[in-house]
Amino acid sequence: MKRINLLNSLLTTMITVTVLSSCKKNQESATGDTPHISRENVRAEVYHYHQSGNTIQAYYRGNLVNLLEIENGMYLLGGDVVLKREDIRMPGDPRSESTTNGVAWPDKTIYYRYDNNATNNLKNNVWPAATRMWANAGLGLRFVYDQRAVQPRYIQLSENHDGSAYSTSVGAPGGSMNISIDLDAFSAGNLAHEIGHALGLEHEQNRHDRDLFVLVNTAGLSPEWASQYNIKANATPVGPMDFGSIMLYPSEDGVLTKLDGGRWAANRANPSPTDILGINYKYNITTYTSDGAYELTTQLTNRKALQADSQHDMVLADTIRGTSAQKWRVRHQNNGFYKLTAWRDSTKCLAKSNAGIILQAYNGTDNQLWAIVPSYIDNYFRLVSKTDNKICIGLDTTGVGIARPHITTKEFRVDTAQQWQFRKIQ
């Protein structure tokens, strides 16, 4: 298991769509609301659309999310990601490659080209400053100018003059994607935010556990702007809410604040340590936890370890004894999901059932697969079910005082009962 001594947070990717109707002309400002600007004069990235229609649902990258219907048959995701019809899949449509391909850039190499309208300021100053923020983050990312226009996958950099900063993909595209910025309104830090989308990061305020950390009130916003704060339920958060994330929108009184009503200093200076952790996890998801034998101990009480009772197909926590019953084979299966097999009985693996957590003969179904995701505490992890990314394994806190408390599944909480340390034995 890799040890990353950072508070963690990550993003996620998803989308949704239903029946569409014709677009209506927007009679307010381009977004219907005043763009969000923080006390530090950091402006929230936004695409200024000219027409808007319904808020709909569709699949993007295999996940269901909310989209706003805008001009020219396009859709707006999260305020600053513009998608085409071929990028998404409507519920009921046949699956298509364009809705699922591309997340990580191959070999961590991001190719780019300049649009004909790109100025020398963008080419020589703003873009180099934005890419340095990510290139200097220690992630091994490379930004390479596709001068001969031969790369099949690349970013097309352009400028606009309507106060927009946006991108057209979350993660690597199947072909080309566009990043566009108005240099009179936005800085290199805003461009670095859009690069974050291109790398695969989502907005921090959209994570499904955000209500554990922030207050969101969209009552006074137009439906179009309010959609930027929709929770993306299918995305798995990594670490706690990161108030220093370059992907987090500026705090705004009465709209987006901490639980106590406090605000945070908006960051567009550099990717935060947790932004870096998120990319590191995403781009190494199949090897982030190495295969091997592990002992799993709870953060709630580090004197107890996850234990298999193969005779009764039960899983519980018991005092650490170093026995084979407290030893687990951890092996990656696919796309960042792992199988945890009881060392004492290699035919039985950890599984989610209606009754809770049990041992079950392995058959390859999703209820037997788990993502091992950095949690809210350094060097501790969540075991998140593939069947429901809002559910993770935890200690039954009602039984903390007894000798052998049960293991259960619950939605994410800010407590230590759901956070596990993986100690590799062999």
What torsion do the CA atoms of 69, 73, 79, 83 make, to the nearest 10 degrees? 130
Q: Does residue 36 have a known ligand-binding role? A: no
Residue found by looking up tokens 């009921």 in the block: 92
Domain ranges of the chain: 292-424
Instruction: For 63-77, give the DSSP string.
Output: EEEEEEEEGGG-EEE
Catalytic residues: 194
The predicted-structure confidence for 281-292, as pLDDT tens digits, reads as follows: 999 999 999 999
Residue found by looking up tokens 């996620």 in the block: 12
What torsion do the CA atoms of 187, 191, 193, 196 make, to the nearest 10 degrees? -160
Local confidence band at 38 (pLDDT 50, 70, 90 cut-offs): low
The predicted-structure confidence for 193-222, as pLDDT tens digits, reads as follows: 999 999 999 999 999 999 999 999 999 888
Most confident of 196-200, 310-314, 414-418: 196-200
- The residues, ordered by sequence, that sit 6+ positions from 107 with a Cβ below 8 Å of its Cβ are 142
**pLDDT on residue 339:** 98
The predicted-structure confidence for 63-122, as pLDDT tens digits, reads as follows: 888 899 999 999 999 999 999 999 999 988 876 534 333 489 999 999 999 999 999 999
**pLDDT on residue 238:** 85
Local confidence band at 37 (pLDDT 50, 70, 90 cut-offs): low
Q: How many residues does the chain have?
A: 426
Q: Does residue 203 have a known ligand-binding role? A: yes
Per CATH, is 292-424 categorized as 3.40.50.300? no
